[in-house]
Structure 1
Amino acid sequence: MTGTPGRVALVTGASSGIGAATARLLAARGTGVVVNYLSSAEAAEEVVAGIGAAGGRAMAVQADVREAAAIEDMVGRVRAAWGGIDVLVHNALIPYAVKSFQEMTWGELGGKLDAELHAAFAVTKAVLPHMTEQGWGRIVYLGTGLSRRPRAGMVALGTAKAALEGLARYLAQELGPHGITVNVVAPGAVEDTRMAGVTGDAVRERQVAATPLGRLARPADVAQAIAFYTGEDNTFMTGTTAAVNGGMTMY
């Protein structure tokens, strides 16, 4: 499988977990990687240093992807250093409330929906001019299996990510004629991520028991699916959602 050598990828929320694993994998395949982070500067620089030590290209850029001005500044810095952004992996996790619908306020549910879609909207808008001009681009959004398989307390996250999947399909239809693919990678439970700490050991054990492959996903498993969608080998898949959950949910 080939990557996108010579191209540039922006990975949002790339200082740890799935984002960091994706940044490392894309860099190993020859792509220059922008490691975006919100507040974990030291962790982001460690990812960059590791990529550099392995012979790859990477730069860390701080930006809150919920703020259009910050995104424009980030893209401008990348453009000045490396030219345009060819690949967008929008992985940044927007905070959300973990509680039942009956306990939740509209501010918590509506706020998550607004922040989730606004971030995706703004970062996509910022990278599209270059992709459209060159007639080639790859966009991957990180979704969640909770969009289709509800779990107690996850109504805000699951609903917001379901909306993101809908946006991705509309963008796939509109941007296809420009040579741009848009897909979603929807992990199930993933080890070694911030979301992994939301549930306890009992829930984790039940999840493992319900997974035909006998374990939870690792960040590297999710990164492999993302890397396929971003690469030259993906010539004819757009508007799709890849479930990376070991068979826990099949659709």
Structure 2
Amino acid sequence: MTGATGRVALVTGASSGIGAATARLLASRGMRVVVNYLRSDKPAEEVVADIAAAGGRAMAVQADVREVAAVEGMVEQVRAAWGGVDVLVHNALIPYAVASFRDMTWEELGGKLNSEMHAAFAVTKAVLPSMTEQGWGRIVYLGTGLSRRPREGMIALGTAKAALEQFARYLAQELGPQGITVNVVAPGPVEDTRMAADVLDDALRQRQVAATPLGRLARPADVAQAVAFYATEDNAFMTGTTAAVDGGMSMY
């Protein structure tokens, strides 16, 4: 991995699942990693301890990414310790309702859309000044295959993440001249995550596996590998793209 040493990476929602796997991987490649969490302080500190034990550098910082003041405070805390954020991995999963459109209220659908975009807006605004100043930055948003492949009950999440994907493309166009890339990693179902627990019973899980050419569901480490590529100098010429990490499921 070229040029990663010393870069500062902020990973939101990094106390478990994809976020934790990404934090560990980026740290193993020489980045100083900010492990953001909302309530899971002990798991976040465990991620930091794992990184330290492996010879890396990390800090855990609590912040609700839906709150502008909290996000600004987090970024200022990082700046005081390590300087500006070079890499943003926005992974935090904003709560959402699992329901059909018929049974859904506007508060559930509109609230998810608002919270999803407000969080992405807030964290991006907060890290952008230092990236712009140095003429280099990497922004990676976690999306979902559900934004393009509808599944029963997932209209709130799929619609909100579709909005996030288009937001990323507009940012990629605007920020490219400043040396900042913006990309999306869109997993299919991922083992050992809260989203999978929400939607996959045993029967549906087996159907998903059967429909996947590679014959299994994604693991957090699979998603982290794609994020890590986008987060470094290895990705010199890809921006405005969405990587489907789904074992080939999106071909159909």
Shift of 1:161: 0.1
Give the residue type in structure 2 aligned to 1:122.
A
Q: Deviations over 1:24-45 (max 9, x none)?
A: 0000000000000000000000
User: Residue 146 of structure 1 aligns with which residue?
Assistant: 146
User: Residue 205 of structure 2 aligns with which residue?
Assistant: 204
SS at match of 1:162: helix
Q: Distance in 1 between matches of 2:235 and 2:120?
A: 22
SS at match of 1:114: helix
User: Residue 40 of structure 1 aligns with which residue?
Assistant: 40
Q: Distance in 1 between matches of 2:205 and 2:66?
A: 31
Cα distance, 1:102–1:3 mapped onto 2, change above 3 Å = farther
Q: How many residues align?
A: 251
Q: Deviations over 1:105-144 (max 9, x none)?
A: 0000000000000000000000000000000000000000
Shift of 1:5: 1.1
Matched, 1:248 2:249: yes
Shift of 1:3: 5.9
Q: Deviations over 1:148-200 (max 9, x none)?
A: 00000000000000000000000000000000000000000000111111121
Q: Distance in 2 between matches of 1:91 and 1:25?
A: 14
User: Residue 64 of structure 1 aligns with which residue?
Assistant: 64
Matched, 1:235 2:250: no
Cα distance, 1:145–1:3 mapped onto 2, change above 3 Å = farther
Gaps of 5+ in 2: none
Contact between 1:131 and 1:180, CA under 8 Å: does it hold in 2?
yes
Map 1:123-202 → 2, pairs under 5 A: 123-198=123-198, 199-202=200-203
Gaps of 5+ in 1: none
Q: Distance in 1 between matches of 2:7 and 2:238?
A: 19
Shift of 1:250: 2.4
SS at match of 1:182: strand
User: Residue 19 of structure 2 aligns with which residue?
Assistant: 19
Give the residue type in structure 2 aligned to 1:239.
G
Shift of 1:61: 0.1
SS at match of 2:70: helix
What TM-score results when the alignment is normalised by the length of structure 1? 0.99
Q: Distance in 1 between matches of 2:2 and 2:46?
A: 26
Q: Distance in 2 between matches of 1:77 and 1:49?
A: 19
User: Residue 100 of structure 1 aligns with which residue?
Assistant: 100
RMSD: 0.8
